Structure 1
Amino acid sequence: MTLARMFYLYKRFYIQQLKAILEYNKDFYILMCSAALTQVLGFIFLWVIYDRIPDIKGWQFWEVTFMYAMIFLTEGISSLFFEGTWRLGRLVNMGELDRYLLRPVPVVLQVFCSGIGINGLGNLLIGGVIVWQSLVHSHIHWSLSKAAIIILLLVTAVIIRVSINLAGNSAAFWIRNAGNAFPLMVHNLADLAKYPITLFPQAIRVVISTVLPYAFISFYPATYVFGKGEWSGWWMLAPAAAAASAAAAYGVFRYGLSKYESTGN
C-alpha cells in the first residue's frame, strides 16, 4: 500500500470518527476546556515557584515553561490524531480487533483512527500558545535554519510520543484485563520530562533519554533553542531517537498482534 493511499484512508477514517464525536457538542466543549484548564493551572504552578526562586540550576522561568508546554503540546497532537492507541486494550479484550484483521488495510493505521481525543485540542491550543510565549520572552537569535530545526524537533517529538503510547498500550496483548495500568504508568513517566533532567539522578536521565526517550520531546529541544552549553548538541540525536522509537513500537505491536487470540467462550 502506497503512502498516499494510507493518508487517504486515514483522512476518511478520521472524518467519520469526528462526525460521530461532534454529535455531542457539550462533551466536546467540556473535554477541551478541562484539558486547557489543566495546562493553565500547571503554568500558574511554575509561575509561583519561579516568583520565589528565579533560577533553578541555570534554568529560567520561560525555559522551563517551554519544556512543560512541549509535553502537553505533543500530548495534544497525539490525542487529537492518534487517540486510537489508547483504545487498543478495549479492542483486544472485546475481540473487536477481529474486524480490523479482516480488512485490506494496515491494522496499525486502523488502530490510530479508532478514536479521537477532543481533550487533545485544548492541550494543543494552550500548549502551542505557551511554547510561542516562551520563545517570544526569551533572547533567541533567530535564523531560517534555527526555525527549520525547531520544526524538525517538533515532528520528532510527536513521533516519539505516539510511538511510546503505541508500545505501552500494546501490553494489552499480554496483560488481558480491564484494569491494565501499564500504559498509564508509562504515560505518567512523561512528567519527569517537564523539567530539566539535570535535576534527577543519573539513572533517571538514562531511562528518559533511551528506554522511554521523553527527554527528546522537551529537554534536548530546549537545550538547543536556548543554547544550554554542553547539552545543546544532543538535539541532533532526536531524529535517530524518533526512528528507533517508531521501529521499536511497531515491532512490539506486530509481535503482540501475532499473539492475539481473539475472544471465545
Structure 2
Amino acid sequence: MWKKCKRYTFLYGKYFSNHLKVMMEYKADFFIGLFSVMVQQFTALFFLKIVFDHIEVLKGWTFYEILFIYAIAFLGRSIHHIFFDNLWTLGWQYIRSGNFDRLLLRPVNPLFQIVAERVQQDGFGQLIIGGIVLTIASVNLEIEWTVQSLLLLFVFIISSGVLFVAINLFFITFSFWMVDSLPIVVSVFQLSEFAKYPLTIYPKAVTLIITWLIPYGFTAYYPATYFFERESMVAMALITPAIAVLSFVIAYWFWNKGIRAFTSTGS
C-alpha cells in the first residue's frame, strides 16, 4: 500500500510539474485566466456588499459572517478546480471519443490518469480570493486564531474540497451509462451556490437536500459556523471530515461500478 501511494505521488508530481511548465510558457494566458476569475468572484462579493448596505443583518447573519462562509466555499472549491477539474470532461473527452479505452490499457488507475491529465490555472484565482476574503472576514469578526483553530480550519477546507470532488465524481460517473452526464453535473453543481449563504435562510426542504442528500452544506456553511461560537452548530461542523470521507467512499464505489458497466466504443 505504501509503495503504491509513493508511486502515485511521484507520478502526480511529474504530471503537475509538466503542467506548470506549460502554463509558464504562456504566461499571458495564465495571468489573464487568473485575473478573470478574481474579477468574477469580486463582482459577486460587490453585489453582496450592496445588499448589506441596505440591510444590517440577514436573518441574524452579518455581512462578515456570510463573507467568512464565502471564503471557505472559495477555498474548498479551489482545490476541486485546480486539481480535479478534468472530471468535467469524462463524457465528451474520454467516453464518447473512445479515449477511455486508452486509460484502461495502462497499468495505472484510470481515475488517477483523468485527474492528473489537467491542472486548471483558473483555480489559483479562487484560492487567492478565498485567502483574501478569509483574512478580511476574520479581522472584522475578531476571531482569535490558535494553533488548534487554524489546524481545524485547514481540515475543514480540505474536507470542503473533498466534498466538491466526491459530489462531482458521483454524478459524472453517470456518463458510463449516458455517454455524457455533464448537463446533470452542471445542474447539481448549481446547488453549491446555496452553501455560500446560511442555510437557515432557506426553506427546510432545501436545507435537508443540501445537508443530507447532496451535502454541499458541509462545504462551507457548517464548517464556518464553528468559528462563530454558535453552540447549536458545533456538532454539525465537527462531523464535516467524516461526511467528506463517507461521500468520497460512496462516490468512488459508484465510479468502480460505472467502470464495470462501461462498454468500449469498439465493442
Q: TM-score normalized by structure 2?
A: 0.93
Are 1:130 and 2:133 an aligned pair? Answer: yes
Checking the alignment, whether the CA contact within 8 Å between 1:83 and 1:113 is kept in structure 2 is no
| Identical aligned residues as a percent | 33
Mapped partners of 2:173, 2:43: distance in 1:
32
Gap change, CA 1:18 and 1:261, over 3 Å in 2: farther
Amino acid at match of 1:9: L
8 Å CA contact 1:166, 1:253 repeated in 2: yes
Three-state SS of the structure 2 residue aligned to 1:167 is helix
CA distance in 1, matches of 2:260, 2:139: 49
Contact 2:167-2:251 within 8 A present in 1 as well: yes
Deviations 1:59-85 (A, max 9, x none): 111110111222222222211112221
Contact (CA 8 Å) 2:168, 2:189: kept in 1 or not? yes
2:213 & 2:24 partners in 1: Cα distance?
Answer: 38
Question: 2:193: which partner in 1?
Answer: 191
Contact 2:33 2:121 in 1 (8 A): yes
Task: Identify the residue that residue 43 of structure 2 maps to in structure 1.
Answer: 41
Q: 2:173 aligns with which of 170, 173, 181?
A: 170
Q: 2:70: which partner in 1?
A: 68
The reply to whether residue 218 of structure 1 matches residue 230 of structure 2 is no
Contact 1:85/1:112 (<8 A) preserved:
yes
Match of 1:231 in 2: 233
Gaps of 5+ in 1: none
Q: Which amino acid in structure 1 is aligned with residue 185 of structure 2? A: P
What residue in structure 2 maps to residue 16 of structure 1? 18
Letter in 1 for 2:217: A
Query: Any residues of structure 2 matched to 1:99-114 within 5 Å, and which?
Result: 99-114=102-117
Answer yes or no: is 1:58 the counterpart of 2:63.
no
Local SS of the residue matching 1:57: coil
> Is 1:83–1:114's contact at 8 Å kept on the other side of the alignment?
no
Please say if residues 93 and 176 of structure 1, whose CA atoms lie closer than 8 Å, have aligned partners that are also in contact: yes
Count of residue pairs the alignment pairs up: 264
Partner deviation per Cα, 1:196-221 (whole Å, 9 max, x = no partner) = 00111111111111222111111111
- Equivalent residues of 1:14, 1:113 under 8 A apart: yes
Shift of residue 180, structure 1, vs aligned partner:
3.5
The match for 2:122 is: 119
Supply the AA of the counterpart residue of 2:123: G
2:87 maps to amino acid: T
- Show the 5 A alignment for 1:138-149: 138-149=141-152
Q: In 2, Cα distance between the equivalents of 1:260 and 1:21?
A: 33
State the 1:136 CA deviation: 1.6
Which amino acid in structure 2 is aligned with residue 93 of structure 1?
Answer: R
SS in 1 for 2:155: helix
What is the root-mean-square deviation of aligned Cα atoms in Å? Answer: 1.7
The one-character-per-residue Cα deviations of 1:52-110 (angstroms, maximum 9, x if unpaired) are 11111111111101112222222222111122212212211111111211111111111
Asked if the contact 2:77/2:160 (under 8 Å) is kept, the reply is no
1:104 partner amino acid: P
**In structure 1, what is the Cα distance between the partners aligned to 2:127 and 2:153?**
17
Distance in 2, matches of 1:162 and 1:132, equals: 25
- The TM-score, its normalising length taken from structure 1, stands at 0.93
Deviation at 1:27, TM superposition (A): 2.4
